[in-house]
Structure 1
Amino acid sequence: MNAMTRRIVIGTAAVSMALTMAACGKAGGSSSGKDNKSIGILLPDNVTNRYNQFDKPLMEKKIKELCSDCSISYDDAGGDPNKQAQQVNTMVTKGVKVLILDPQDYVAIKSSVENAVKKGVKVVAYDRFAEGPVSAYVSYDNEKIGELQGQALLDAMGPAATPSSKIVMIDGDPSDPNAAQFKAGAHKALDGKVNIAYEQTGLWKDTEANKKMSAAITSLGAKSIAGVYSANDTMAGGIATALKGAGINPPLTGQDAELTGLQRILTGTQTSTIYKPYAPEANATAEIAVDLIEGKDFKSITDTTATSGSGQSVPAHLIGATSVTKANINSTVIKDGLYKVSDLCSAEFVAACKAAGISVS
């Protein structure tokens, strides 16, 4: 074989090898697509303490327990629905197969959900019911939570809860479907029993709630306010500051059993919160996500159905909640280990913890 012939043979072999490798690469790419076990988690903000403190780590832990070779991508919207829409697109581009989505704006996110599903992504609505073709929805019985809040306010007001008693309602963000359900449940408990003299949204922000509470005080007069409904603990913090500035301390509700909210309950500047156990919600969602990744039936987890704002009926799992006051902090959040006693009962709150029957070492 002369030199020219050898070069032609070698060149032909190289081309053949390259084509074979390319074909293998394509086959491998197709196989890896089928074996893709990538799960995305998108949460709405980083202001509400529960998301980074509980929801994110609990879901990640459970996913890894159930699927050690699953990969997880995470982001939060920082309270910006446009940012979250971009994050959904980014997750789709990255190739996630299942997306756990807690929408910042449940209506605005619909087109992003539709686009993700068209690209083959399964979407699980977490905590808030995103509109669009979601596969499942996991949350709490949110209207019942609103009823618990309203009843807790009436209980704290006692004999002062009369049809002429003026209360202030600071509701959650209307872009959150849960806020409307909390509001509806609270009205069910409160309407006709007290006079809702001022009602506004606090957008889940302590600063905004503080402004609205200050406006209510100016409008109604501090001494005429007999109680305050706050849809969550973050806003209750801003409201409590406004009430203190006005020299009044009427009963005040909350939600989420935030550490600072519980400490306000212990010291008497907030009367109640709602304890929603985060582990059952996060774990059920993680189980559904892994079942979807593995092509399994998740219907044993979703024990009911729920209807979205756009009329879509979706398999759902709804979890119960508990109203918490100073009387049962010890038997609820402390018993369940939501916080360490040392964190709740730091030096400033030791006496208040002991008074509530909490054993402080």
Structure 2
Amino acid sequence: MRRTLVALVAVGLLTLSGTAACSDDGDDTKAVPRRGGDGTGKVGVILPDTTTSQRWGTDDPKLLKAAFDAADVPVEIENAQGDDAKFKQIGDKMIAEGATVLIIAGIDAESGKYVLDKARANGVKTIDYDRLTLNGGADYYVSFNNEEVGQFQAKGLINCLTAKNKIGKTPRIVYLNGAPTDNNARLFKNGYDSVLAPQFDEGKMLKGPDQSVIGWKREEAVTVFREMFNQTNGQIDGVVAANDTIASAAIQILTERKRNGKVPVTGQDAEVQGLQNILTGDQCMTVYKPIKKEADAAAKLAIGLFKGDKVTVDGKGTKDPESGAYVPSVLLSPTLVMKKDVQSVINSGFVTTKAICTGRFVTACNKAGIK
């Protein structure tokens, strides 16, 4: 008799929301017999790159492997290094070599959909990890509440503008959005727009240039923000940067123009560099997303599918804006991080004091009471 993997909830627990049609016996698997589900084969994991966020080259491979090893489930983890053709090749290889469950963090919708379509045609269960593949039709989606991430970015920016006595003086805000091919970037923007658009509409803030950073690449962000700075003659009072890498690019230009620390810059991911920039005052805030919880949630789901457990789902799930379909989802809660919160991120075990408080950052750490 098949066991049941109970879907628990959000905020630290596991939430799987979806419709009955998305269960193991749904219509999407009737045409093709499901592969595996009896503890044979392996789980395949395809990660996108090692440049857009440090997590992809360090945290996720380690955390996912540990979770699968603990369950004695064979796993193969590969990184496409930002190459969409390589992403497809890895997917083809894993499916050909007997993967029964695939976890993918896509580079773009086209290559992600290719792998998901190939998996579906071969009866392989699929999980979109961190990034939803638009029109991809994955069986499940595990991520954070990404619109809430964007809302935190906007709220953090307002906090910093208030501290600098800029509220009430019509501050000009510019947007450095994430990659236009990444659905998460759209969700982050939806989030910060939901908070800041009313400010623009009411004339309380001015909307400056609004541009995306191709590939989430730092060098691209440097070029884009330099152009923004020149275009506005330096009349920028706040920067919504979609993540810590992009934030560091904006801070580089602001430092060159001796405006760092005077113009609030947002971030995301609670990377070491982002936390260091917050302690020095060059960055306003970041968003901490406990990657271990995300990796554990994806692994727990994949392990259940691998073993043939029946996954129960509740709620509507996440709506794919292109297909209109709802994907059963595990959405975890992010945390807003201001300077006063850096110690709590360290206390969580996500980063170490040694990694942050080094070189020129020792003084800032001591001043902030970091231990």
**Deviation at 1:80?**
2.5
- Give the structure with the larger helix fraction: 1
1:230-269 maps to which residues of 2 (within 5 A)?
A: 230-249=241-260, 250-269=263-282
Identity of aligned residues (%): 33
Out of 91, 96, 99, the residue aligned to residue 102 of structure 2 is 99
Out of 168, 171, 183, the residue aligned to residue 165 of structure 1 is 171
Match for 1:102: what amino acid? A
Q: Unpaired segments of 5 or more residues in structure 1? A: 1-30
For residues 193 and 168 of structure 2, the distance between their equivalents in structure 1, rounded to whole angstroms, comes to 15
Higher Cα Rg: structure 1 or 2?
1
* 1:184 has 2:197 as partner: no
For residues 268 and 163 of structure 1, the distance between their equivalents in structure 2, rounded to whole angstroms, comes to 21
Match for 2:309: what amino acid? K
Q: Unpaired segments of 5 or more residues in structure 2? A: 1-34, 200-204
1:1-361 maps to which residues of 2 (within 5 A)?
A: 35-47=39-51, 48-66=53-71, 68=72, 70-130=73-133, 131-158=135-162, 159-162=165-168, 164-193=170-199, 194-203=205-214, 204-222=216-234, 224-249=235-260, 250-299=263-312, 305-309=317-321, 310-331=323-344, 333-359=345-371
For residues 191 and 221 of structure 2, the distance between their equivalents in structure 1, rounded to whole angstroms, comes to 20
- Which residue in the other structure is 1:21 paired with? none
For residues 33 and 155 of structure 1, the distance between their equivalents in structure 2, rounded to whole angstroms, comes to 50
Match for 1:94: what amino acid? E
The answer to whether the 8 A contact 2:213-2:221 is kept is yes
Q: Write the deviation string for residues 223-261 of structure 1: whole angstroms up to 9, x where unpaired.
A: x11011100001111111111112212000000000011
**Deviation at 1:348?**
2.3
- Which residue in the other structure is 1:3 paired with? none
**Deviation at 1:178?**
0.5
**Deviation at 1:32?**
9.5
**Matched residue SS, 1:215:** helix
**Deviation at 1:82?**
2.8
Match for 1:306: what amino acid? T
For residues 280 and 37 of structure 1, the distance between their equivalents in structure 2, rounded to whole angstroms, comes to 25
For residues 252 and 231 of structure 1, the distance between their equivalents in structure 2, rounded to whole angstroms, comes to 10
Q: Against the structure 1 CA distance between its residues 313 and 345, is the aligned structure 2 distance closer, same or farther, given a 3 Å change threshold?
A: same
TM-score by length of 2: 0.83
The answer to whether the 8 A contact 2:38-2:306 is kept is no
For residues 187 and 167 of structure 2, the distance between their equivalents in structure 1, rounded to whole angstroms, comes to 23
For residues 77 and 220 of structure 1, the distance between their equivalents in structure 2, rounded to whole angstroms, comes to 38
Match for 1:266: what amino acid? L
**Deviation at 1:106?**
2.6
For residues 162 and 254 of structure 1, the distance between their equivalents in structure 2, rounded to whole angstroms, comes to 24
**Matched residue SS, 2:102:** strand
TM-score by length of 1: 0.85
The answer to whether the 8 A contact 1:206-1:239 is kept is no
**Matched residue SS, 1:225:** coil
